Structure 1
Amino acid sequence: MRLLKLALLIVLLAMQYRLWFGKNSLPDYWRVQQDVARQVDANQRLQQRNQVLAADIADLRAGQVALEERARNELGLIKQHETFFRIVPVKPQ
């Protein structure tokens, strides 16, 4: 009977060792859960960015207004027969 108890104790300790320190142990599981949570956050940020870019693309394909706005803001272009005015704020001294 005593030998059986000792054998069961050894088996229990071996199983606990694998649970806490072996391959695919609880600390490994927790680390993977954190990695997955970080990746989900990164994916959500990238999906939001992609939605903004898709909306920009749709605007550029749909009409000339968005295209003109981009040309004016980013390239400084003006239409023919337009006069360009630049207002420079005065810096307080």
Structure 2
Amino acid sequence: MKAIWNNTILAESNNTKYLEDNHYFPPDSLNSEFFQLSDTHSTAPGKGKASYFHIQVGDHKNADAAWFYPHPEEVAKEIKNYVAFGKDVEIRN
């Protein structure tokens, strides 16, 4: 799977976890140069507190476009620190 935004591959892995209509990418599959930790957090039932990344490609910023669970609830422990994408990031095979 590939996560693509602004014609740039943000992450690529054959080992994503699929949960609730999202592919979660392993942390080591990210092209870290495009990610900036955000101050945004949210809470999802059954998963816990999410943290977010802004994505920056050149002069283009996609705020809070990726999220992860550093301390997920027990039922979601398989996605700990795995990253999912939203906000116009395309997920392709």
| TM-score, normalised via structure 1 length | 0.17
Pick 1 or 2: higher relative contact order, CA cutoff 8 A, min separation 6: 2
Q: Which has the larger helix fraction?
A: 1
